[in-house]
Structures are given as structure tokens and as C-alpha cells.
Amino acid sequence: MSALLGLEIQELEQLLGPDHPRFRARQIYAALYRERHPDLMQVSTLPLALRRELAAGHAVGWPAVERRFDSTDGTRRYLLALADGKTVEAVWMPEEERQTVCISTQVGCPVDCKFCMTALLGLERNLTAGEIVGQVLAIAADNRLAVEGQRLNVVMMGQGEPLLNLANVLKATRILLDRAGCGLSPRRLTLSTAGIIPKIEELGREPVRPKLAISLNASTEEARRELMPITRKYHLKDLLEACRAYPLRPWERLTFEYVLLKGVNDSEADARRVVKLLANLNCKVNLIALNPGPEIPFETPDTERVLAFQQIVKRAVPCFIRKPRGRDVFAACGQLRKVSSPV
Ligand code: SAH
């Protein structure tokens, strides 16, 4: 059974072959992504014979909600089962003004950040474009999000390093942003990377792409190397150069994320160095106080420290503190590790 989710128009046309009128491909595309049908047998505008033909060899391919963990703050962490039995996590974060879905791009993660629980899983495999889009559809449906007119934000900040699965991430992006597809606003889709420099350059050349967020997490090359071993290959200096060269769209700016670790990278000197590093970049900074977890050898700084850090950075660039969401159910940044209950 192959999945229909993840196919673009031309691929659907090919799949149908010459025996069906071409508009059928568009109809199926709309049913999959705009109307968000989990089962094409229910789509009565398609001829029954075609529905049967499709169902014989293909599943739509939504991931199944294996478990859901509801936080006291409204956040929901989902353990989603894929066709091969593997699972990934995605997170639903409702707010007054908007809704955000955080999705995964790989099963596990190959980037070995020392403060992140997902790193402990290692990489199992890349997700397909259909599995990436499917997370958004399944979670929107589970939360009864209407199809049209919702202020839905999607962030690729769950398990995995999106730029190490770029082809599938880009294909999913085209479907998510296509008006005839999921119809998300390009301003509401963001990808976060640990800093895979050649892929940042590649991303910049794509006409249809998410906004870019970069996990900075340290103020010196040495400290970053300790916390994020990937920086041994992709140096901080070169990363910032790639950021300077990045072709931002007129409405766009870069986001830098900075995980604050008590006594490690949260000093005022660190904050001043961050300001220097980001000089001349059109950007904002999101501070994330460490979300703690078992086997993570760091502590969360006190609120006063976080605020003091913000004050310094704020003088130079817009700087926000990311509110922790769903820590009680291990749904917060860096806590996605497939544990079935809070430990
Ligand atoms: N691999 C990508 C996508 C993951 S995004 C990346 O590195 O950007 C997850 C964000 O959460 C990153 O900015 C990461 O630095 C941050 N993070 C990881 N572990 C964390 C933790 N324990 N507490 C707070 N933030 C964490």
C-alpha cells in the first residue's frame, strides 16, 4: 500500500494515467490537502470505480494518533504512528490569537546537541513529504480546526534536523503553502536548523520555502562546539556569514534561538557577545530557558537571569522569551523523546 499523501499534482496525474480525465488529479489533490479527507472512499464527487481502484493500491496515509498527552496549559503532545510502525511526535499549542503545530521532520535526530532529549534517540530515518504534511492534517483534525480561515502556524521544530532531510521538507512545504493545497500562509511556516551551512544556501535558492530559524545556543565557537558537536563541521563564523548572505524576502527576518543553560551560556558577557555576533543581521532572538529532562546534564536558569540576558540583547535586536509549553507532559522544546508518560 503506497501513500497518496505527499504526492503533488503531476505525480497524481501520472498515477492516474491516460484512462482518466486530467481534472481528476486536481480533484484528488483538493480532497487530500484542501478538504483534508483521511479516506477517499468518502469523497462522493469521485466516481466510485476510481475510488475503488485507488483504495486497492493506496492508502491516504494520515499518521494514526497512538497516544495523546494533554498538558494543564492546553498543549497536547501527540505520539503518531507511521505506516511502518515507527512513531514520531508533534505538538499542538493553542493560544487566544493563533494556533501552532510543531512537527517532526525525521524519526529521532542525528544532531547530537548535549541539552536535547531527542538526541538520545539517534536517527532512525527521514520522514517522507506525506508524513510531514500528515502530521499537520491529523493534528488539525483532532483539534477540530476548521479547514478555512484559521490562523494556523506550523513550525518544523520537533524531532529531527529539517535541513538533513531537505528534499522531503521542501516537497512538504510546497504542499503546505500551495493555495490549492493546504493553503498555509508563507509567513506562518518556519523551519529551525542547528546550522547545516550548505543546506542553508540551498534553501535560500528555493522559490517556495519556510522562514528560517537558526539554533545559536552559544556565544563563542568553543562553547558552541561543546554544546553542539555539529559545529565542528559547520563553524559558527561561517554560519553567520551564510546568514548574512541569505536572501531574505522583503517581509522576512531571521530568527535565532538561544537555549539558556544555567552557569554555562547565560552570563551578561554571553549576552553581549550574542549582540556582537548578530550585528548587521536582520533578525530577532528567541530565548528558551532550558526545558529539563532526565539524562540532561544542565539546569534551567532563574527567571531573573533570563530577563537580564534579554535586557542586554534587546538593546540591539528584538528579543523574546519563548514561553515553555507542556513541560508537564514532555512536550516542550528539546523534550521530544517518545516517552509514553512523564518520567
Ligand atoms: N534540529 C533543529 C530543529 C529542532 S528545533 C534545530 O536544532 O534547530 C528545537 C529547538 O529547541 C532548538 O532551537 C533547540 O536548540 C531547542 N532545544 C533543544 N533542547 C532543548 C531543551 N532541553 N530546552 C530548551 N530548548 C531546547
The predicted-structure confidence for 48-57, as pLDDT tens digits, reads as follows: 999 999 999 9
Residue 256: name the closest of 305, 211, 201, 226 by CA: 211
pLDDT in tens, 22-40: 999 999 999 999 999 999 9
If you average pLDDT over residues 302-309, what whole number do you get? Answer: 98
Q: Give nearest CA residue, ligand 1 atom 24.
A: 290
If you average pLDDT over residues 270-297, what whole number do you get? Answer: 96
Between CA 310 and CA 331 the distance in angstroms is 24
Q: Give nearest CA residue, ligand 1 atom 7.
A: 194
The C-alpha angle with vertex 262 and arms to 256 and 268, in degrees rounded to 5, equals 65
pLDDT of 146: 65
336 CB within 6 A, ligand 1:
no
Q: Give nearest CA residue, ligand 1 atom 4.
A: 157
Residue 27: name the closest of 19, 16, 18 by CA: 16
Residue with cell 511502518: 84
pLDDT of 148: 55
Ligand 1 atom with the shortest distance to the CA of 293: 22
pTM: predicted TM-score of the whole model, two decimal places: 0.96
pLDDT of 294: 87
If you average pLDDT over residues 79-100, what whole number do you get? Answer: 94
Residue with cell 497512538: 66
Q: Is 312 helix (H, G, I), strand (E, B) or coil?
A: helix
Between CA 4 and CA 15 the distance in angstroms is 10
Share of the chain above pLDDT 70, in %: 97
33 CB within 6 A, ligand 1:
no
pLDDT of 141: 94
Q: How confident is the model at residue 97 (pLDDT cuts 50, 70, 90)?
A: confident
331 CB within 6 A, ligand 1:
no
Query: Which residues are annotated as catalytic?
Result: 89, 333
Number of helices (H) and strands (E), helices first, in the chain?
A: 10, 14
3-state SS record for 127-191: CCHHHHHHHHHHHHHHCCCCCCCCCEEEEECCCCCHHHHHHHHHHHHHHHHCCCCCCCCHHHEEE
CA of residue 217 to ligand 1 center, whole Å: 9
If you average pLDDT over residues 124-150, what whole number do you get? Answer: 89
Question: Residue 343 above 50 pLDDT?
Answer: no
71 CB within 6 A, ligand 1:
no
Q: Give nearest CA residue, ligand 1 atom 11.
A: 333
Between CA 287 and CA 321 the distance in angstroms is 5
pLDDT of 10: 97
Cβ-based burial of 146 (10 A; exposed 0-12, middle 13-18, buried ≥19) = exposed
